[in-house]
């Protein structure tokens, strides 16, 4: 739709005596779709023309010469409202969608630029908790959205696989042992050992000291420590991969904090060379008090490195080795200060590219407490957080049970149940602005009438089934001028605006822009379809009217393409039937 602003600006350029480049950014979307497609506010002309904006609007509406595809102009108070030609718009948009297919929505503002996205990034030795869905799916969606707009993107799953907790874990392993005969998965036993190690360290100072020594040995490359640690990582990765497979997510890199360990001394040395590092109570820090932030810790008294040291080394490495233009960190809001410190330190060190590193924060996932009925955040430490795989499995089970009733003969029912269950959880995660908290209620996210994944999937499948029964005539050149219904005109415009929505999502790092746009398209299509069911004249497939059928089938096919493209960007699967 954005591209049509140029045509409007051309009608205005001469009368206003301004180049189109200055007019295009002034064009707005009218609050009511019926008023027109674009509005030009006349306020800015009032001074120079010594006239009230209303008068200017009225006068211009009379005098303007319009050229296709601009069909009409009308004054509305201080605004000039422009309407595009329906026939031209329908033809151009539907033909573009048919021609571009999977590529409709793609653009090239990112061409020649590279983005690195740090996402998912769970801590090793624990299972993936439900809240990990957020970083994982927001990151995955951003990756696909940026790719669609021409960026080269590399995803890095920055595993939390280093630091004193791993010393404690080894100490716990040595003290409590490992039950090879236990009838639970390794990850479950490992998770339990992790919890036990933490509790023990709190209760027993000697144990905590032993844990710290183990971490020192680990950092020094001690083979026994390394061996244990490696095994913890392997057990965890095996488990993580199962969940990533279910979600359809993969990464170009899974390096983890440990990978950057050999680069840490150099990273600290870089900062020292720039005079940024000071000693504070035996620790090495970068003082950030001038920026109202606590110091950035680089080394503890005992010489151990920290999360911030590792992130510093990681970012320097990524820039040096991967040469990114933009680096995004999809990490919960609770870590805002950490990233503000990190970027500030690099900025102080004189790295201009630090300005292109961004924290992409997001809100919590809340679940209803069955006792109090209140929305709450689960905590892995207190053991009342759901596991991500448990949530996914429960959603799949419910989808399976429902489909067994609603569509008992469905082919590939097991696969579709997985697509619907997983799609429901993912869409629920992405449909609202990412900084908002996500409320999770299994019934609600699977409701095919709500603003849900299944609702989107149903709409797509509905398009597929309409087209599957369409006669051969849809292959003839459609007469787009037959698309005159209110819903048809509205749909064409929303389809035209879909690439703009993807571009905005890429610009603002906000997948919900795509999700909301798809919801609006689905709502329009469904009311169109429903109206056709009640009124035979409005039916999509009209055995008595081949031309109308062809035009409406072309529109339906375009809706299907856009829904599929958009849902793919979000990571929501699209079964053909459900
Ligand atoms: N592992 C960290 C956590 O679970 C998140 C890591 C995010 N990425 C980063 N480069 N700091 O809190």
Any domain includes 129: yes
pLDDT score at 478: 87
State phi, psi for 277 to the nearest 5 degrees. -95, 130
Are 78 and 128 within one domain? Answer: no
CATH number of the domain residue 41 falls in: 3.30.1360.70
Are 189 and 253 within one domain? Answer: yes
Look up the domain containing 462 and give its range. Answer: 388-570
Q: How far is the CA of 311 from the centre of ligand 1 (A)?
A: 9
Are 409 and 467 within one domain? Answer: yes
Q: Which one of 335, 345, 388 would you pick to mutate in the ligand 1 pocket, going by the greatest count of ligand atoms within 8 A of its CB?
A: 335
- Strands (DSSP E) contained in 255-376 are 277-280, 283-286, 296-299, 326-330, 357-360, 365-368, 375-376
- Strands (DSSP E) contained in 222-356 are 277-280, 283-286, 296-299, 326-330
pLDDT score at 216: 92
State how far the Cα of 66 lies from the Cα of 84, in Å rounded to an integer: 10
Residues near ligand 1 with C-beta < 6 Å? 118, 121-123, 158, 160, 311, 329, 331
pLDDT score at 533: 87
Any domain includes 104: no
- CB-based burial, 43-60: b 16+ in 10 Å, e otherwise: eebeeeeeeebeebbbbb
Q: How far is the CA of 331 from the centre of ligand 1 (A)?
A: 7
* Smallest CA separation from ligand 1 atom 11, residue: 311
- From the CA of 160, give the closest atom in ligand 1: 1
Any domain includes 347: yes
Q: How far is the CA of 82 from the centre of ligand 1 (A)?
A: 49
Any domain includes 276: yes
Number of domains the chain contains:
3
Q: How far is the CA of 134 from the centre of ligand 1 (A)?
A: 13
Residue in 380, 549, 522, 350 with CA at minimum distance from that of residue 453:
522
Any domain includes 435: yes
Any domain includes 160: yes
The list of the chain residues with pLDDT below 50 reads none
Are 402 and 322 within one domain? Answer: no
Any domain includes 94: no
Are 465 and 561 within one domain? Answer: yes
Are 68 and 122 within one domain? Answer: no
Q: How far is the CA of 232 from the centre of ligand 1 (A)?
A: 18
Write down the pTM of the prediction. 0.95
Domain boundary among 44, 68, 84: 84
pLDDT score at 122: 97
Any domain includes 370: no
Are 142 and 283 within one domain? Answer: yes
Are 124 and 265 within one domain? Answer: yes
Residue 493 neighbours by CB under 8 Å, 6+ apart = 1, 33, 37, 89
- From the CA of 338, give the closest atom in ligand 1: 11
pLDDT score at 171: 97
- CB-based burial, 445-483: b 16+ in 10 Å, e otherwise: bbebeebbbbbbbbbbbbbbebbeebeeebeeebbbebb
Are 61 and 179 within one domain? Answer: no
Are 342 and 403 within one domain? Answer: no
pLDDT score at 404: 95
State how far the Cα of 242 lies from the Cα of 236, in Å rounded to an integer: 10
pLDDT score at 168: 96
Domain boundary among 33, 66, 84: 84
Residue 106 neighbours by CB under 8 Å, 6+ apart = 100, 148, 149, 150, 499, 502
pLDDT score at 380: 55
Are 433 and 511 within one domain? Answer: yes
Are 220 and 356 within one domain? Answer: yes
Domain boundary among 360, 375, 401: 360
pLDDT score at 567: 98
């Amino acid at each position: 739709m954005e591209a049509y602003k140029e045509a409007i600006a051309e009608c205005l350029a001469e009368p206003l005596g301004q180049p189109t480049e200055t007019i295009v950014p002034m064009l707005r979307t009218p609050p009511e779709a019926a008023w027109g497609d674009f509005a030009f506010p006349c306020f800015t002309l009032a001074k120079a023309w010594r006239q009230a904006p209303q008068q200017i609007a009225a006068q211009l509406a009379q005098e303007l010469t319009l050229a296709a595809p601009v069909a009409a102009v009308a004054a509305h108070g201080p605004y000039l409202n422009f309407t595009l030609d329906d026939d031209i718009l329908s033809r151009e948009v539907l033909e573009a969608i048919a021609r571009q297919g999977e590529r409709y929505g793609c653009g090239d503002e990112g061409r020649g630029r590279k983005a690195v996205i740090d996402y998912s990034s769970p801590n090793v030795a624990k299972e993936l908790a439900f809240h990990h869905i957020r970083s994982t799916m927001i990151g995955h969606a951003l990756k696909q959205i940026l790719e669609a707009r021409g960026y080269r993107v590399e995803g890095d799953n920055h595993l939390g696989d280093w630091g004193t907790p791993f010393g404690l874990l080894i100490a716990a392993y040595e003290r409590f042992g490992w039950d090879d005969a236990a009838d639970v998965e390794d990850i479950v036993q490992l998770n339990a050992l992790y919890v036990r190690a933490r509790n023990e360290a709190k209760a027993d100072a000697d144990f905590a000291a032993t844990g710290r020594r183990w971490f020192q040995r680990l950092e020094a490359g001690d083979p026994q420590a390394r061996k244990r640690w490696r095994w913890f990582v392997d057990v965890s990765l095996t488990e993580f991969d199962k969940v990533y497979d279910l979600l359809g997510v993969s990464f170009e890199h899974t390096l983890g904090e440990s990978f950057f360990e050999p680069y840490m001394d150099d990273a600290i040395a870089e900062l020292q060379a720039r005079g940024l590092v000071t000693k504070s109570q035996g620790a090495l820090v970068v003082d950030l008090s001038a920026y109202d932030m606590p110091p950035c810790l680089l080394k503890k008294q005992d010489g151990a490195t920290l999360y911030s040291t590792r992130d510093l080394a990681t970012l320097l490495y990524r820039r040096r080795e991967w040469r990114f233009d933009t680096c995004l960190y999809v990490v919960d809001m609770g870590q805002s200060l950490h990233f503000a410190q990190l970027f500030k330190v690099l900025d102080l060190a004189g790295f201009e590219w630090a300005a292109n590193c961004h924290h992409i924060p997001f809100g919590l996932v809340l679940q209803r407490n069955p006792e109090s009925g209140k929305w709450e955040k689960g905590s892995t430490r207190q053991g009342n957080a759901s596991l991500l795989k448990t949530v996914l499995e429960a959603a799949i089970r419910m989808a399976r049970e429902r489909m067994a009733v609603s569509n008992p003969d469905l082919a590939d029912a097991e696969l579709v149940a997985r697509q619907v269950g997983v799609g429901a959880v993912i869409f629920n995660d992405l449909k609202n602005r990412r900084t908002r908290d996500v409320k999770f209620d299994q019934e609600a996210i699977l409701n095919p009438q709500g603003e849900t994944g299944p609702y989107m999937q149903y709409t797509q499948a509905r398009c597929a089934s309409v087209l599957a029964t369409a006669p051969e005539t849809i292959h003839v050149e459609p007469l787009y001028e037959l698309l005159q219904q209110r819903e048809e005109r509205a749909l064409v415009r929303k389809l035209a605006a879909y690439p703009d929505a993807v571009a905005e999502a890429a610009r603002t790092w906000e997948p919900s822009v795509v999700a909301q746009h798809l919801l609006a398209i689905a709502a329009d299509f469904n009311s169109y379809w429903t109206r056709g069911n009640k009124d035979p004249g409005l039916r999509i497939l009209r055995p008595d009217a081949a031309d109308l059928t062809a035009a409406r089938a072309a529109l339906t096919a375009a809706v299907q393409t856009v829904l599929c493209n958009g849902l793919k960007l979000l990571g929501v699967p699209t079964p053909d039937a459900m």
